[in-house]
Amino acid sequence: MSRDYPPARYHWAGATGLTPAVHENENIPQGALVPDMARDCDQVAVVYKKGETPPEITVREISSSVQTVLADGVAVAVIASAFGPAISPDDVLLVERCL
């Protein structure tokens, strides 16, 4: 049976800023930008180790056009946008990484 699935929204192969896991015991969340095909923009993703508690995401406004995304208080991304609304913690994708 064939089904029509919507096209993949997030282009993970095109993610930037995501580094390979170096140490299996490393529990530091990482930030990445993932192309969002539905909105023609990038989405901020925070990647954390599978089995760990998801990090608390906060967004700190640096200026009217610059925000810093923090995961458990550690900066993982800096976003600058001349147009559009500021991002909120709900805009950040949380992703478990299986090592």
Which pTM value belongs to this model? 0.74
Write the pLDDT tens digit of every residue in 32-73.
Answer: 878 776 666 678 889 888 889 999 999 999 998 899 999 999
The chain-wide mean pLDDT, for the chain, equals: 78
DSSP per residue over 13-73, as a string? GG-BSPPPP--TT----EEEEEEETTTTEEEEEEEEETTSPPPPEEEEEEETTEEEEEETT
Answer whether residue 21 shows pLDDT above 60: no
Residue 29 near residue 47 (C-beta atoms within 8 A):
yes
